[in-house]
Amino acid sequence: MPIVRRPRKHALQTLTLLEQAYPDAHCALDYRGPWQLLVATILSAQCTDVRVNLVTPDLFDRYPDPEAMAAADGDDLERMIRSTGFFRNKAHNLQLCARKIVAEHGGSVPQTMEELIALPGIGRKTANVILGNAFAQPGMVVDTHVGRVSRRLGWAEARQPEAVEKELCALLPAEKWTQTSHVLIFHGRQCCRAQTAWCSGCPVVERCPQLGVDRQK
């Protein structure tokens, strides 16, 4: 079915209903501070948040800051994160990222998009997670759930995450970006799933152009 684009007013009304349906929507990764969130988000690639949360307590005890991670034994680091998948590449990126943070940012995670995406293993998705949740700056995170749900709702047309991010940022006010990401992720996981969407339990089903039942103009 072709995408039916919705104006900002319509999108904000739908978003309000979703926020009411998922009042506890939040970042599902366990962390304390920007460094822990950065590490957890890198580990979450192609891995569940639940699995990452099982791995990170011991990891953070062993390597609590960028300085410790930069000096970590590579084999030990790989062993500790093996269950998150792609562990060799993730370990490599974590150490390179830690070393750059120590060398160029005094051991503190930078607070701008430009500086974050210059770090090894950090793309716009990870950077937006950090900006929105660790630094309280607007960050529109686009994962598979956000992309799928936003297209179904008529909020975006693009398939590439960065293009979806641009569409959503143009549609919604900046102060809504971070929480919108959480809400759409929760909705995508619990209701608007990829293969078996639970439309009968959807809190915004009457506003869904995908089903041809959008009665709210």
What tens digit of pLDDT does each residue of 20-61 get? 999 999 999 999 999 999 999 999 999 999 999 999 999 999
Of 93, 111, 134, the residue at which a domain comes to its end is 134
209 — pLDDT class (breaks 50, 70, 90): confident
Answer left, alpha or beta for residue 121, where phi above 0 means left and psi between -120 and 50 means alpha.
left
Specify if 2 maps to a domain.
no
For the annotated catalytic residues, the residue numbers are 125, 143
* pLDDT tens by residue, 172-203: 999 999 999 999 999 999 999 999 999 999 99
**Could you tell me the residue range of the domain that residue 57 belongs to?**
33-134
Q: Give the tokens for residue 76.
A: 């030990």
Report the phi/psi class of residue 73: left, alpha or beta, with left for phi > 0 and alpha for psi in -120 to 50: beta
- The CA distance from 190 to 202, in Å, is 9
Residues 38 and 77 in one domain: yes
Domain count, the chain: 2
pLDDT at 217 (0 to 100)? 46
Same-domain check for residues 98 and 165: no
Answer yes or no: is 148 within a domain: yes
pTM tops 0.75: yes
Last residue of a domain, one of 83, 99, 134: 134
Nearest to 42 by CA among 110, 114, 94: 94
Q: What is the pLDDT of residues 128-167, one digit of tens each?
A: 999 999 999 999 999 999 999 999 999 999 999 999 999 9
pLDDT recorded at residue 2: 52
Give the range among 21-25, 90-94, 204-208 with minimum mean pLDDT. Answer: 204-208
d(CA 39, CA 93): 10
Per-residue pLDDT, 4: 59
Locate 189 and state its tokens: 């996981």
Query: What residues have CB less than 8 Å from 113, skipping those under 6 apart?
Result: 124, 127, 128, 131
Rounded to the nearest angstrom, the gap between the alpha carbon of residue 105 and the centroid of all alpha carbons in its chain is 24
